[in-house]
Amino acid sequence: MNETIVEIDSNNLKEIFECNKIAKQASGAVMYRQGKAVIIAAVAIDEKPVEEDFLPLTVQYMEKSYAAAKIPGGFIKRETKPGDFETLTSRIIDRSLRPLFPKGFHFPVTITVMVVSNDSEVDMQVAGLHAANAALFLSDIPVSKSIASVRVGTIGDDIVLNPTNSQLNSSELDLLVVGSGKDVVMIEMRTMATKKGEGQSANEFSEEALVDVIAIASEAIESATNSYMEALTPLVREPLNLTLADESIDEELYAYIESNYAKDVESAIAYMAKSERSTELKKIRTAILEQLEQDGKEVDKETLSRVLEYYKKRVVRGMILEKNLRADGRTPEEVRPITIETNILPSVHGSCLFTRGQTQALVSVTLGDKKDSQMYELITEPNSQNERFMVHYNFPGYSVGEAKFIGAPGRRELGHGNLGKRAMEPTIPLNYDGTIRIVSEILESNGSSSMATICGGSLALCAAEVETTDLVAGIAMGLVSEGDKYVILTDIMGLEDHDGDMDFKVAGTKNGITALQMDIKLGGIDLNLLKEALKQASRGKAHILELMQSASESIESSSALPSTEYFTVHPSKIVDIIGKAGSTIREIIEKFEVSIDLDRDAGGVKLSGGDKQKVADAKAHIENIASTPVKKQMEYKVGETYSGKVKRIVDFGIFVEMPDGFDALLHISKVSKERTNNLSDKYSEGDSIDVVVLEQKGKKVELATVEFLA
């Protein structure tokens, strides 16, 4: 095909797709332009399928430093491991495009998205997703649908589709919706804290308002996907002749399992309700294979695994749809038992052990100064940024009974930590001037460990005496549907996440939602059903918040918690606290074992230390330094003579202490008619001297000797 340029103007985005121009040996590629941003997206496929029953899709979103006319910082002057933003964006693209592949597609596919030219106002997540989608749609891979994404912000009372980065910084809402046609397949949402009046609001969104905004985004997505399909379909490559895996079910084998192993499967399901990773089905599979072999029948192991998994799934879903009963005996709206322990780690600033059913998170909070913040770079920002609120999530193998080496955090860990951060950050005081690090160690997992992180993290903040605006709880919702019949599940476990139709995580305060993440396996979700799910989530969240509130009222302070004092002095006294060449402040730090942060303009003093008494003593010492009356400078009359004292002699003149205590400059050129070259021959520090005021500008006073003007 010849090179073709496609221009699409939709939802406040002017996008240009240059097709059949670059990377022609890839399965599909496109050069995407929006403003000054240029993104290259390429798709490649390995035509040899994997034996496992899954889609081996790998998405890599990469930002090149040269795209922003920068050379990478650090010792190695080339791009190395991806930053958090790149990893999180890769996850978003993966979750959005994965549902487009047909069932039985087990061929390894890589989608590479590279930012090669930057625009500080372009939303790189939306741009990268659209570039990747176009490359996949145009490729020779049999994908027949296109997706589109819309980011929604609120500027004042206005709802803005696809705001610029500058607009998003002042928005109270950050909502990313991805869909295909009328179907919404993925949602990511967070709110930003705002100041209202004298206080701070976490800016929670109500369920009704959120659904209304999602409805607007859904209409925009339908319009955009229609535009993409219409413009790009004529340019799609001839699809590869690929043999998809046969996912049909052997009805005879299904009936055999149902007749002979129904109770064994039910027992396995009951066990799986207690563990996110279970080997019970493998034991049943081995037993069936042995029995069939004795009966002289041959069955492929993979076929048996698929049929057994399908039968198990039908049993789990049937219990829910027909009996309103879940594998662990709960009703659809029932939350698993919750226990909470706070400050169980004596040497930690704040800690919480949050247990819900078979999911357990040990969450700790560490408080630091501004200098403890995490520095990072964004390609859309000219300068380095500092992250002063961090949430780190760790998922060791033993939490699900796996013998697995603990290495660097993967995409899942980074994604769950980011969700926790988005949920809790709006409740952190806007004027908090330190650094907070939250670490969640998942000790046991059977569903929604990220939500346990949010609950435990919010309580750990309370245990560390951080004055948040409110408690935040998180809850994972699920859905099982067949035709017109459906059941919404509260607080899903791993089994229901795997066999259900939706994974829907909701976090917020008693007033509304602060963060949300949703992935739908159905191909779309009705907005009325979404509203019902949000209402049910709100009831579950309220139940958890009630237990958290009760636990927060009995927290005992950690002995490791640093003492902090913040007070103000007159700004002119900051120089006295610092002392000559910093001698006074160093003496205070060493004597009282404290750290000191000073705000020169406002006169703010912040003291932190491990010993409360020493912090109090340091405060008293500083207040004593600052207690001397503030001098008020006189208004001098030009031409009049005043008696001063020689305070300091320098090469270019003399600093004279005037009657009001302020220093004025007597320049060497104004000392005498003879222009004395060596002032030390004529004057000594402490000598009285008569001077004439030549000029006064604010605090600056210029002098001359009486002899000079004689």
pLDDT of 676: 56
4-235 domain in CATH 3.90.1200.10? no
- Please give the backbone phi and psi of residue 464, each rounded to the nearest 5 degrees, phi first: -90, 5
CATH topology of domain 563-625: Ribosomal Protein S8; Chain: A, domain 1 (3.30.1370)
pLDDT of 488: 95
pLDDT at 393 over 50: yes
pLDDT at 197 over 50: no
By the 10 Å C-beta count (0-12 exposed, 13-18 middle, 19+ buried), 548 is classed as buried
By the 10 Å C-beta count (0-12 exposed, 13-18 middle, 19+ buried), 252 is classed as exposed
Query: Could you state, in order of their start, the residue ranges of all structural domains in the chain?
Result: 4-235, 251-323, 338-552, 563-625, 641-709
Among 353, 355, 377, 356, residue whose Cα is nearest residue 364: 353
Distance, in Å, from the CA atom of 391 to the CA atom of 88, rounded to the nearest integer, reads: 14
Distance, in Å, from the CA atom of 620 to the CA atom of 650, rounded to the nearest integer, reads: 36
Least confident range from 387-396, 428-437, 530-539: namely 428-437
Least confident range from 145-154, 446-455, 691-700: namely 691-700
Determine what percent of the chain falls in helix, strand and coil, rounding each to the nearest 5: 35, 30, 35
Beta-carbon contacts of 497 under 8 Å, excluding residues fewer than 6 positions away, are 447, 476, 478, 503
Domain formed by 338-552, architecture: 2-Layer Sandwich (3.30)
- Buried-exposed string 188-218: b where 16+ CB fall within 10 A, e elsewhere: bbbbbbeeeeeebbbbbbebeebbebbeebb
Q: What percent of the chain has pLDDT over 90?
A: 55
pLDDT of 238: 94
Confidence of residue 710 (pLDDT cuts 50, 70, 90): low
Least confident range from 61-75, 337-351, 620-634: namely 620-634
Distance, in Å, from the CA atom of 86 to the CA atom of 542, rounded to the nearest integer, reads: 35
> Average of pLDDT values for 356-380?
90
- For helices 207-232 and 527-552, angle between their N-to-C axes, nearest 10 degrees: 140
Among 174, 190, 207, residue whose Cα is nearest residue 540: 207
Render pLDDT for 293-321 as a digit per residue (tens, 0 to 9): 888 888 888 888 889 989 999 999 999 99
Q: What percent of the chain has pLDDT over 70?
A: 96
CATH topology of domain 641-709: OB fold (Dihydrolipoamide Acetyltransferase, E2P) (2.40.50)
The greatest distance separating any two alpha carbons of the chain, rounded to the nearest whole angstrom, comes to: 128
pLDDT of 272: 80
Confidence of residue 201 (pLDDT cuts 50, 70, 90): low
Beta-carbon contacts of 683 under 8 Å, excluding residues fewer than 6 positions away, are 646, 649, 654, 689
Mean pLDDT of the chain, nearest integer: 90
Same CATH fold assignment for domains 338-552 and 563-625? no
pLDDT of 198: 47
Render pLDDT for 463-500 as a digit per residue (tens, 0 to 9): 999 999 999 999 999 999 998 899 999 999 988 888 88
**What single-letter amino acid sits at 647?**
K
pLDDT of 318: 93
Confidence of residue 188 (pLDDT cuts 50, 70, 90): very high
Render pLDDT for 648-678 as a digit per residue (tens, 0 to 9): 888 888 888 888 878 888 888 888 766 556 7
Beta-carbon contacts of 155 under 8 Å, excluding residues fewer than 6 positions away, are 163, 167, 170, 171
Hey, which bits of 181-283 come out as E strands? Answer: 183-191, 194-196, 199-201
pTM: 0.83
Render pLDDT for 538-581 as a digit per residue (tens, 0 to 9): 999 999 999 999 999 999 988 888 888 888 888 888 888 888 77
Among 514, 361, 505, 537, residue whose Cα is nearest residue 423: 514
Other Cβ atoms closer than 10 A to 116: 14
Render pLDDT for 545-556 as a digit per residue (tens, 0 to 9): 999 999 999 999
pLDDT at 196 over 60: no
Distance, in Å, from the CA atom of 593 to the CA atom of 380, rounded to the nearest integer, reads: 41
Render pLDDT for 498-529 as a digit per residue (tens, 0 to 9): 888 888 999 999 999 999 999 887 767 778 88
Confidence of residue 268 (pLDDT cuts 50, 70, 90): confident
R_g of the chain computed on alpha carbons? 34
**SS3 state at 445:** coil
Distance, in Å, from the CA atom of 506 to the CA atom of 531, rounded to the nearest integer, reads: 12
DSSP H or E stretch at residue 605: strand 604-609
pLDDT of 677: 64
pLDDT of 277: 67
